[in-house]
Amino acid sequence: AQSVAQPEDQVNVAEGNPLTVKCTYSVSGNPYLFWYVQYPNRGLQFLLKYITGDNLVKGSYGFEAEFNKSQTSFHLKKPSALVSDSALYFCAVRSYSGAGSYQLTFGKGTKLSVIP
């Protein structure tokens, strides 16, 4: 069965420093991987995805993610953190649910706090 793991419940980083939010996955076949962000009292917002091609994927708000097949990882990164990046981040993998249908399996989420 497909799954994703976000090993850190919380990540703290100083404003202006680089940030990394970790995600590892387990899938059969080629993975389709996604990152979402959730601000307080809001739904999830799509940040970026990897389907095929370059291992470094660029997304919204200056975020990027690096796909590493050998380490089965898809870590989210940003060169310089902003206080406004403080939010809950979710990694997700597309999983096959039968009869030609797919769904997203989400990790438990990582709370990012950027300290001024």
CA distance 14 to 34: 25
CB of 111 to another protein, least distance (A): 11
Among residue numbers 80 through 109, which ones bind another protein (CB under 8 A)?
A: 90, 94, 97, 99-109
Question: Phi first, then psi: what are they for 85, rounded to 5°?
Answer: -80, -10
Check binding of 29 to another protein (CB under 8 A).
no
CB of 115 to another protein, least distance (A): 23
Q: What's at 18, amino acid-wise?
A: P
CB of 74 to another protein, least distance (A): 14
Radius of gyration of the chain (CA): 14
